[in-house]
A and B are shown apart, each in its own frame.
Chain A
Amino acid sequence: MNSDREEIERLIAQVAMGDRAAFEALYDRVSAKLFGVSLRVLDTRAAAEDAMQDTFVKIWNNADRYQANGLSPMTWLITIARNTAIDRLRATRKGHQDIDTPGLELAAPGPNPEQSAVAASEATRLTGCLDGLEADRGAAIRGAYLEGASYADLAERFNVPLNTMRTWLRRGLMSLRECMSI
């Protein structure tokens, strides 16, 4: 797992230098996972293929900023794929605004950004913790992350006022963080 991470980090660093062979190697290494994520969000293959292409264009263009954001390499890659897919999903909605791509605007670049304090072991507890939340709260968080649902979408889905939805979700997030850090 660690060597995987180092390998992907090395590839991203090479891509940041404009290394096309490294970019192709990175594609071969992670595209199936990123395509899976795009498919999960977008359902149709054609849309997922387009989203994944956009994802890799962003990766190529922003690899030099990867170091500045402190994310683990797979988190960075998957988050770009997820945000790109959700942007595409939302593009048909009124008043659409793009989600930020990590590394584009995240944190002022510094020499040695600290890595995320969230350990891998903590992250793996997420699913269990989500399942442990009151059912609606877990579903709301999943809906926001995997389906790009907005507060308004969620309020409608759960048939509660917008402010109630926000309070629910924030409570859910607090419980989630607490559960994961144990």
Chain B
Amino acid sequence: MSDHPTMPAEDDDMLAAEVALGLVEGEARDAARARMLQDRAFARRVADWQERFVAMTDDITPVNAPARSRKALMARLFSARRVPLMQRLWVWQGISFAALAAVAFLAVPLLQEPTVPTQGEVYATRMAAEDSALELLAVMDMSRGDIALRRVSGAAPEGRVLELWAILPERAPISLGVLPDGDVSRVALPADLAAEAAQITLAITDEPPGGAPGGVPTGSVMAAGAVAEL
């Protein structure tokens, strides 16, 4: 690049102009980038050229972008939907700081690809109750239409099963089914509950084997928690 080794400043300034235009390629470009980080005078030259060249846009007429563009941008930047689920769990306010590490650990088996942004709302809750050792973490993933559950502690009383309920204001408890044995399970969320998802309180009762007769809870509430959006 050194056509005039006796005029290094001049060469620098031409190189700076080429950088500003995007004409520097390959290794020379990498070198120029590295230099801009360390050599403030050189970075200054590049900025000066950018300041000069920008005048080429002076006669470009402003054009209003369509409203959908603005909407899409704001959704892209600010919608929680773009945030990976694990990240949402970390910022979840509904759980104590001390439990965060446990949540992260517990959440992993719930989520198949925890770092992939999920497209729908996600709600979560920690289900517990006084006088009960049973504790579960529940994550409602609306894009999948299901609830992932992870048992933290406790179990069904001898000879009983655990049944999951969705509780909504002014409605009878809606059975989401008997929980299978095991610490981790997935339960489908009925599609007609999706619109009211944010208001759901999840509860678990102990019921006779086979589940609550007649679809009405009969046992005691062993754990419950209102969902919060992540």
Interface residues of A (CB under 8 A from B): 20, 23-24, 27, 31-33, 35-37, 39-40, 49, 52-53, 56-57, 60, 69-72, 74-75, 78-79, 82-83, 86, 95, 97, 99-100, 102, 105-108, 110, 113-114, 116-118, 122-127, 130, 141-142, 144-146, 148, 150-151, 167, 169-170, 173-174, 176-177, 180
How far does the alpha carbon of A140 sit from the alpha carbon of B61 in the complex, in Å? 22
Q: Is B144 an interface residue (CB 8 A)?
A: no
Which of A144, A167, A180 is the one whose CB lies under 8 Å from B22?
A: A144
> Which listed segment binds A: B62-70, B99-107, B150-158, B170-178?
B62-70
19 A-B pairs in the complex with CB atoms less than 8 angstroms apart: A31-B70, A32-B65, A53-B73, A70-B44, A72-B51, A75-B51, A100-B33, A105-B37, A107-B47, A113-B40, A117-B48, A118-B48, A123-B54, A125-B55, A126-B55, A170-B14, A170-B17, A176-B52, A177-B52
- Closest residue of chain A to B50 (Cβ to Cβ) is A79
Contact with A along B107-127 (1 / 0, CB 8 A): 000000000000000000000
A71 touches B73 (CB 8 A): no
Bound together, the chains give a CA A30 to CA B72 distance in angstroms of: 17
Q: Give CA–CA (A78, B50) in the complex, Å.
A: 10
- Contact (Cβ within 8 A) B56 A75: no
Q: Residue-by-residue, is B37-50 near A (CB-CB < 8 Å gives 1, otherwise 0)? A: 11010011011101
Interface size on B, residues (CB 8 A): 48
What is the minimal beta-carbon distance from A23 to any residue of chain B, in angstroms?
A: 8
Inside 8 A of B76's CB, which chain A residues have their CB? 53, 57
From A27, A71, A75, A130, contact of B70 by CB (8 A): A27
Decide: B78 and A69 in contact? CB cutoff 8 A.
Answer: no
Q: Which residues of B contact A118 (CB under 8 A)?
A: 48, 51-52
CB neighbours (8 Å) of B72 from chain A are 53
- A contact patch SS: helix
Would you call the interface of chain B mostly helix, strand, loop, or mixed?
helix
Give chain B nearest CB distance to A143 CB in angstroms.
Answer: 10
Question: Considering only CB atoms, which chain A residue lies closest to B61 in the complex?
Answer: A36
Do B78 and A20 have beta carbons less than 8 Å apart?
yes
B173–chain A nearest beta-carbon distance, Å? 39
B21: CB under 8 A from chain A? yes
B84-100 near A? 1/0 per residue, CB < 8 Å? 00000000000000000
Partner of B57, one of A37, A49, A117: A37
